[in-house]
Structure 1
């Protein structure tokens, strides 16, 4: 998008609730939206941690139909199939995704599977063949999100899913996603008290991922004045909040501005038919699809170098980024932005080199660069950028 006076902004978020102990109102929220029986979808750690699960079950009260505590970071299709069985067994009419993005993604895939009676093996074949799962016409069970990490996956109408041959659903490993405007959560509860139960290393890594959503939203081709406003306010909160998170003990008071920032940088990121995620997230995909490096660590490593690559070639709205991240700077706005991002990374004690994580070695960089340039998020690269695989490979070498 050329940043002129014409834009189109279509966004359909769910209800956003924010504040300490806001999960106390989950039953009221479900009642207002006409839902009666909730299945909580979470991982085993969350499901067995009273500080996390108990406030949610209390908040749901008599509307709690069951708990499915089997999600994993792999976001397996087989887990969603099992979750669908649990949903039907307890006659739930709404799914509550509790925890990190993987639990919300699994809840979303359960909703897709619940919409019709497709054979799970047929769904697996579709995932292998198309890297996606089609969303049936008609109504879908609603999803309510209760996040406990800072990656920013809860204001989204897309979800990731994988499958392995061990499940019996596919003959070869597969990964992909589902996307539909009807998959946007019907409500999100941002409760800083629940975030404070998450270990600091997880908050730090996920926070870097969420922080980068704000960066990318400002320079994406489809940026709008609306997303400029929310992303800039969110980045200001995250710059200070994430640095404080790295230096101080975790509690709900410390996390309130961080959680607020994460909520804001997501606003308008995932829209019908488009997203503002861009080149940093494409690098993240390229590095994590076939390697064990964690997404937040990958983002921490690549973000400053990708920004330098962008600033060397296009404007990438450096003045706006500097206004958000380094309003006091009196020199080169590009350098001020890069330094601010490095400061956040370092305060969170995240890695700065690929050689120090379980990522690709030098000989794999051409293939990784090819995966990055083919990633759909590259379509949102800043106006004027004409990236080549050779350039992206050079950025990877800088990251090494």
Structure 2
């Protein structure tokens, strides 16, 4: 078993990755080093009510803690971002600290973006009702963001995200209207001790989203040896650690390995067709992306392996599968089974029909969304996906 460091720091695209148990105790020192004085925490109500989680962060921030906004929700509503903007102004905060899962980290980033955009929430919604919302301008004056992840969604080392302006029912297109801008965090404090405060169900629900970032990178048409190396090692760590966390046999070592793995699969990630499936469902429903990924990943991989190589030798390495003596078909099927095994260990959903709100009659429209989604530009070379082919995969997963 390959070891992981007890702590490390690494700069990635302007974001300082700071890993280690207890590393959030250094938050105040980090702010001081960057001439930042007043931090507003942005999180959800469950996170905000968890003393076990919040106390180490608040102690780490010390007298640089200006306030807490705990109004984020999984829906990533625009109200949450603008509520955080109001709180930022009231507390005179000069830095945002997003804590929690992917939705809270996205809201923290978009709070930073729209704090300097100049448009009000009502103006943005009016644009959405009139057919489209122009993205926010890039603004170097926006407040910096620090993220403190507590789930495996893999949404922390990212500059992307969006907030929902109109629900599907309110939107003139019949689909949720969202808008987002780019804001890379200046630091990511990845503290395994904080992940241990997250309920097992929330960890499991997020894990497949993060795992799939590692799965997708090796078969992306723009993959390279550097992105392959990070993805494969990240898969090694996650595929070993996640089942041990799920079954309660972890003594802390598996959590450390999973957090490092979650960081690795985000570096130079190349999201592709599995994420496009997730986005297709997001165009219709408010669903946790990890749940959609859990259901579709084995089916999508089987579809890929029937059509193209899809980096199966690298994926086999990531899941600890020895390719010796196995045909390409056998190797592909073992990878599919390995992914399903991790999914099942997490007790994640296995059928689309079991997800809230989903309707079988929507599958043709979702297939069209998937084919047109931007990550599909990264599908393996020579793969020519069609809406009909994608719909077949969806019906197999139904």
TM-score by length of 1: 0.90
CA deviations on 1:194-217 (whole Å, 9 max, x unpaired) are 100111111012011100000111
Distance 2:224 2:151 in 1: 27
Matched with 2:161 is 159
Alpha-carbon deviation of 1:329?
4.3
Q: Does 1:333 align with 2:331?
A: yes
Relative distance call for 1:165 and 1:323 in structure 2 (3 A) is: closer
Alpha-carbon deviation of 1:278?
0.6
Alpha-carbon deviation of 1:340?
1.1
Q: Is the 8 A contact 2:27 2:60 kept in 1?
A: yes
Alpha-carbon deviation of 1:379?
1.1
Matched with 1:104 is 105
CA deviations on 1:296-355 (whole Å, 9 max, x unpaired) are 121111001100111111111111111221333442321221111011011111121222
Alpha-carbon deviation of 1:361?
3.1
Q: Is the 8 A contact 1:37 1:92 kept in 2?
A: yes
Alpha-carbon deviation of 1:140?
1.5
Alpha-carbon deviation of 1:173?
6.9
Matched with 1:286 is 280
Q: Does 1:314 align with 2:308?
A: yes
Q: Which moved more, 1:196-205 or 1:113-122?
A: 113-122
Q: Is the 8 A contact 1:196 1:250 kept in 2?
A: no
Relative distance call for 1:326 and 1:177 in structure 2 (3 A) is: farther
Alpha-carbon deviation of 1:381?
1.0
Instruction: Report the number of matched residues.
Output: 382
Distance 1:291 1:31 in 2: 42
CA deviations on 1:22-76 (whole Å, 9 max, x unpaired) are 1000011112222111000001111111011111110000111111111111111
Relative distance call for 1:33 and 1:247 in structure 2 (3 A) is: same
Alpha-carbon deviation of 1:78?
1.4
Matched with 2:299 is 305
Distance 1:218 1:171 in 2: 35
TM-score by length of 2: 0.90
Distance 2:381 2:132 in 1: 29
Matched with 1:373 is 371
Relative distance call for 1:131 and 1:301 in structure 2 (3 A) is: farther
Distance 1:149 1:131 in 2: 31
Distance 1:173 1:230 in 2: 35
RMSD of the TM alignment (CA)? 2.3
Relative distance call for 1:130 and 1:252 in structure 2 (3 A) is: farther
SS at match of 1:176: strand
Matched with 1:6 is none
Q: Is the 8 A contact 1:158 1:177 kept in 2?
A: no
Q: Is the 8 A contact 1:160 1:175 kept in 2?
A: no
Q: Is the 8 A contact 1:239 1:325 kept in 2?
A: yes
Distance 2:180 2:370 in 1: 20
Matched with 2:263 is 263
Relative distance call for 1:170 and 1:286 in structure 2 (3 A) is: closer
Task: Mark the runs of 5 or more structure 1 residues left unpaired by the alignment.
Answer: 1-10, 270-275
Distance 2:274 2:173 in 1: 32
Matched with 1:209 is 209
Matched with 1:4 is none
Matched with 2:142 is 140
Task: Mark the runs of 5 or more structure 2 residues left unpaired by the alignment.
Answer: 1-11
Relative distance call for 1:253 and 1:375 in structure 2 (3 A) is: same
